[in-house]
Amino acid sequence: MKSRIGVGLIGFGTVGTGVAKVLLDHAALIERRVGVPVELVRIADLDISKDRGIKLPAGLLTTDAGAVIHDPAVDVVVELIGGCDVAKRIVLDAIAAGKHVVTANKALLALHGEEIYEAATRQGVAIGFEASVGGGIPIIRSLTEGLAGDAIYSLYGIINGTSNYILSRMTQEGHEFNAVLQEAQQAGYAEADPTFDVEGIDSAHKLAILVNLAFGTPVNVKEIYTEGITRITPTDIAYANAFGLVIKLLGIAKLVDGAIEARVHPTMLPATSPIAQVDGVYNAIQVVGEAVGDIVLYGRGAGSMPTGQAVVADIIAIGRDILAGAQRRVPAASFRQDQRRPLRLKPMEEISSLYYLRFMVVDRPGVLAQIAGELGRFGISISSVLQQGRRAGQTVPVVIKTHQARERDVRNALAEINRKPFVSDPATLIRVEGKDE
């Protein structure tokens, strides 16, 4: 029996330091849970002179990722450098060297997950990625183990802490987008390139991982409809509030008639719904299963310690399997690799939703009737209209909420309306979740 589980860390930044702290601070607790000590054996980073605020035993640090991978004392290689090219090489090299791998790198898994899962399956090593979605929330293990008996119908939620932090501060305190983004970066929540957070790309990466696990189908992340929060204005936040709604960036996935709907976009939700009340860096993911009904998982979606804890949970799971002599107990992508079935990803035009539409139009008689006429021509039914104030002859916002409508019809109607001479700016479209009333 092994007398310890050796951990090699590659990338000693925000998450890497969280992992080291959790392993060192909870060493006794972890040993009681695993049965042997789980020890940090090597750490690689490009900069090993920087003070990370952690007292490490001498000789742990190196600038050479290869030295970590090939150290015979390392059982589990933890990749925490981010990005795709070098990270992919590190992960595949570690797998080829027979090492178990843990990563928090959702971009890598969304783009190259298939190759990595197959390589790990072939080599008989584990690949853990609990930290890749939802920071400290155990959503991956919930899908692969906790809900393994259920048929999943849908999942949706807030899966990017940075954008939720920004939207929450804009909504509650009227802060400017850029100032809040800087705060999220300073707190260590944002990706190296924060456009990944605010343009919805990080959420799409995470949604691709969740779809894969929930529905047993590979999904091409480039085909997931992705829209971020950069075009959300204080005006739309205020109108949402007037309708009793809150704007959140959601990842949404549904299995409908044997096809998958997967999309990321700002969404208006009733202010009373559980997900609407999730603020700041917190994430929440609602899963709906045939047998279980609804469950919601909630917690910090980013940050050094919550994410570090999730990485350590994977290391512990692997350590326990090593000690029990178990191999690939849980398939890398939840379903057995040979039992995954490609499902059709529905194009966005095929989805149906409720819509919030804001038109910037000249305030004069007959304009509203023309907008309503075009919507009616495309079979779109209006549920409410809001025009505040009277500014005859000047541009005013006219806001319309629709009943359930098809995306294709809404887009076609907006294209017609945007061509009208009384329109000053293209219409704003935000999808609405909730009851059609």
Mind telling me the catalytic residues?
206
How far out from the chain centre does Cα 160 lie? 5
**Residue of the chain from 12, 282, 335, 378 that contacts ligand NDP (CB under 6 A):** 12
| Residues between 268 and 297 that touch ligand NDP (CB under 6 A) | none
Q: Is 191 in the site for ligand HSE (CB under 6 A)?
A: yes
Q: Rule CB under 6 A: is residue 312 a binding residue for ligand NDP?
A: no
Closer residue to ligand HSE, CB minimum distance, 99 or 265: 265
* Binds ligand HSE (CB under 6 A): choice among 68, 76, 101, 190: 190
Pairwise CA distance, residues 54 & 56, whole Å: 6
Q: Which residues pair with 200 in a beta bridge?
A: none
Q: Is 307 in the site for ligand NDP (CB under 6 A)?
A: yes
Residue nearest ligand NDP by beta-carbon distance: 13
Q: Which stretch binds ligand NDP (CB under 6 A): 101-109, 240-248, 338-346, 423-431?
A: 101-109
Is 47 an interacting residue with respect to ligand NDP (CB under 6 A)?
A: yes
Q: Could you tell me which residues come within 8 angstroms of residue 395 by beta carbon, excluding any fewer than 6 positions away?
A: 360, 361, 362, 363, 424
Are 77 and 315 in contact by the 8 Å Cβ rule? The answer is no
Instruction: Pick the closer one to ligand NDP by CB: 25 or 294.
Output: 25
Interface with ligand NDP (CB under 6 A), residue from 129, 189, 215, 282: 189
Torsion angle (degrees, nearest 10) of CA 237, 241, 245, 246: 40
Residue 204 binding ligand NDP, by CB under 6 A: no
Q: Which of residues 365-384 bind ligand HSE (CB under 6 A)?
A: none
Please tell me the distance from the alpha carbon of residue 355 to that of residue 294, in angstroms, as a whole number: 24
Q: How many residues does the chain have?
A: 437
Q: Which of 66, 188, 218, 434 binds ligand NDP (CB under 6 A)?
A: 188
Nearer to ligand NDP among residue 170 and residue 311 (C-beta): 311
Residue 160 contact, options ligand HSE, ligand NDP, none, Cβ 5-8 Å cut-off depending on partner type: ligand HSE
DSSP string, 331-361: -TTSS-GGG----EEPPGGG-EEEEEEEEEE
Q: Contacts with ligand NDP: how many residues (CB under 6 A)?
A: 28
Q: Which amino acid is at 366?
A: G
The only residue of 123, 160, 334, 353 in contact with ligand HSE, by rule CB under 6 A? 160
User: Does the footprint of ligand NDP cover residue 46 (CB under 6 A)?
Assistant: yes
Which residue in 282, 355, 30 sits closest to 136, CA to CA? 282
Specify the 3-state DSSP secondary structure of 371.
helix
Judging by beta carbons within 10 Å of its beta carbon (0-12, 13-18, 19+), is residue 71 exposed, middle or buried?
Answer: middle
Q: Which is nearer to ligand HSE, 6 or 134 (CB)?
A: 134
Write the DSSP string, 233-259: -HHHHHHHHHTTEEEEEEEEEEEETTE
Which residues make up the interface to ligand HSE (CB under 6 A)?
Answer: 135, 160-162, 189-191, 197, 202, 301-302
